[in-house]
Amino acid sequence: MDENLMPALRRAGSLPDRVKIVEVGPRDGLQAEKAEVPTDIKVELVNRLSSSGLSNIETASFVSPKWVPQMADGRRVMADIDRREGVVYSALVPNLRGFESAMESEVDEVVIFGAASEAFSQRNINCSLAEAIDRFAVVAQAAKDAGMRLRGSISCCFGCPYQGAVPLESVLDVVRRFSDLGCDEIDLADTIGVGTAGQVARVVEAAAKRFPIGQLSGHFHDTYGQALANIFAAMQVGMNIFHSSVAGLGGCPYAKGATGNVATEDVLYLLNGLGVQSGVDIDVILNAGDFISRALGKPNGSRAGRALLARAA
């Protein structure tokens, strides 16, 4: 970018030059859809996303189909997609049974997922935080033995639908536990989108004292319309990995009222305006967002996506 056009914020060095976007639409997005989404639609979505320059796509979830029926076809999705070199395909894995599926499907990155809130843990994975860590330890070890990347996702870092406020110490405790399990990356997730920019900056800064900032990521749902501001605040304190969902798909089956992740199109529009590189082609993402919104028969949840598609029409 021309130095004269570079926004003052970047010149001042308070924003990263480059961020990694982890696209979570095919998993976090689609898992919340009530009607069954055909496998070939999921496959086409992943293929469209992987042709955009994205380097990491959360593609499947090897959880109990009784708990999340929409994700029951994870093996077929993984088998049918065109694997693109350089793209990390991730999958959620709650236990060894899920790990076996992940191995057989040749996923690149195993994602274990816990919560900073005891109440959410019970409702999401039917066990206490301490029990969850024990289960994850086995999965983490198996992933490490197999030479796979390991990511730990922490729900409710900024608030919980059941217990309300979540103490910072609880977040930091799970960061430490996931770090001890050997996670390569740890997500701080705002499951219900209640966090605000100042709070995000505080939590990210505190977490960065326990785990390298370059391996911490922000997973913001946009329920209260704060996600872009939160990403901006997190970038200012050095975070440079963010999760987003094409067309703003999603929610969480165990977090009533939570809307989707921040839309990938909206994040790209923000980053492009700031001159922060992501390596992702917004036009390809726009078309993928249009494709999946039409396939699901619902309005496109990305505001930038809707505006840019309308302008192009």
Q: Which residues bind Mg ion (CB under 5 A)?
A: 28
CB-based contact 156:167 (threshold 8 Å): no
Give 57's contacts (C-beta < 8 A, 6+ positions apart): 22, 23, 26, 46, 49, 50, 87, 88, 89, 90
Name which position in 89, 113, 158, 269 contacts ligand HMG (CB under 6 A): 113
Nearer to ligand HMG, 15 or 227 (CB): 227
- At position 21, the amino acid (one-letter code) is I
Q: Applying CB under 6 A, does 28 fall inside the site for ligand HMG?
A: yes
Among residues 98, 195, 218, 305, which is the contact residue for ligand HMG, using CB under 6 A? 98
Coil, strand or helix: which one is 128? coil
Determine, following the binding rule CB under 6 A, whether residue 151 of this chain makes contact with ligand HMG. Answer: no
127 assigned to active site? no
Site map 213..252 versus ligand HMG, x via CB under 6 A: ------x-x------------------------------x
Burial class (CB within 10 angstroms; exposed 0-12, middle 13-18, buried 19+) of 196: middle
Cα distance between residue 105 and residue 94, in whole Å: 15
Which of Mg ion, ligand HMG, none does residue 95 bind to, with CB < 5 to 8 Å depending on kind?
Answer: ligand HMG
Q: What are phi and psi of 110, to 5 degrees?
A: -95, 130
For the CB of residue 221, give the shortest distance to ligand HMG in the complex, in Å.
Answer: 6
- Kindly report the CA angle at 269 between 45 and 263, in degrees rounded to 5? 45
Query: What token pair was written down for 108?
Result: 């690149």
Binding mask 33-72 for ligand HMG (x = CB under 6 A): ----------------------------xxxxxxxx----
Q: Which residues bind ligand HMG (CB under 6 A)?
A: 28, 31, 61-68, 92, 94-95, 97-98, 113, 124-126, 153, 155, 189, 191, 219, 221, 252, 254
Point out the residues that are catalytic. 252
